[in-house]
Amino acid sequence: MEDPLTSTPSTGFSAIAQPYEPSPNFVKGEGPLDCKIAFINDHVRESDRRAQRPLQGPDGRELDKLLMSTGIARGECYITNVIKEQPRPTNADIKKFIDPQSGRITPAGQEHLEFLKEELCQCTANVFVALGAVSLYALTGMSGITKWSGSILESNIFPGRKVIATFHPSTLLGQKVFT
């Protein structure tokens, strides 16, 4: 069997190979797979697609500030998205993958969810930080980020691993999560 890890030239970190033929919108997760903590974002945004790295742009910079304030180096964390591509032609098409009202994954998003499971299987993090409602649902099957934010939950796809539910960094910037 082929080794699913490939090198990401821009960072030197390990990254998981994608499950299908890469598209310009596909963004791999990045960071060390032997980390203690992993951050799971909802979906790729334009800045991520351009950089071909997860959580770039204003929301990524906000995450970097939050990490620095807690003494966590971004390079020590694995960072990925539930939905690995930017919805096209506009972010409004996220509804193809995610129901924005409930945060639940649609049938079209199931391929991405299965890939996330395979990806995180190779990651040793004991703690997954769910950045928003979509990640919370993907990791726990629970809806309601406002209700669960700050809670330490158990992952339903990785029993024994913790999930910390939190708001998406874009909420601190006054941005809508699905834009």
The CATH number of the domain where 77 resides is what?
Answer: 3.40.470.10
Q: Would you state the pLDDT for residue 71?
A: 95
- Cβ(31)–Cβ(78) under 8 Å? yes
From 152, 142, 149, 141, select the one nearest 167 (Cα to Cα): 149
Q: Would you state the pLDDT for residue 179?
A: 34
The alpha-helical segments, DSSP class H, found in 73-109 are: none
What's the one-letter identity of residue 100?
Answer: P
Alpha carbons 168 and 173: distance in angstroms, whole number: 10
Here the tokens at position 168 are 């998406």
Q: Which residues pair with 152 in a beta bridge?
A: 164
- Please give the tally of structural domains in the chain: 1
Q: Would you state the pLDDT for residue 81?
A: 92
Q: Would you state the pLDDT for residue 175?
A: 52
Q: Would you state the pLDDT for residue 162?
A: 97
Here the tokens at position 177 are 């999560």
Q: Would you state the pLDDT for residue 59?
A: 87
Alpha carbons 83 and 161: distance in angstroms, whole number: 21
Compute how many other C-beta atoms are within 10 angstroms of the C-beta atom of residue 52: 17
Q: Would you state the pLDDT for residue 97?
A: 75
Q: Is 178 part of a structural domain of the chain?
A: no
Q: Is 22 part of a structural domain of the chain?
A: yes
Write out the H or E segment, with its range, that includes residue 171.
Answer: none
Q: Is 23 part of a structural domain of the chain?
A: yes
Per the structure, the complete domain to which residue 82 belongs is given by 5-173
Q: Would you state the pLDDT for residue 109?
A: 78
Q: Is 179 part of a structural domain of the chain?
A: no
Q: Would you state the pLDDT for residue 10?
A: 35
| pLDDT < 70 positions in the chain | 1-24, 87-94, 100, 102-103, 172-179
Q: Would you state the pLDDT for residue 174?
A: 61
In sequence order, what are the residues at sequence separation of 6 or more whose Cβ sits closer than 8 angstroms to the Cβ of residue 162? 126, 127, 128, 152, 153, 154, 155
CA 111 to mean position of chain CA atoms: 15
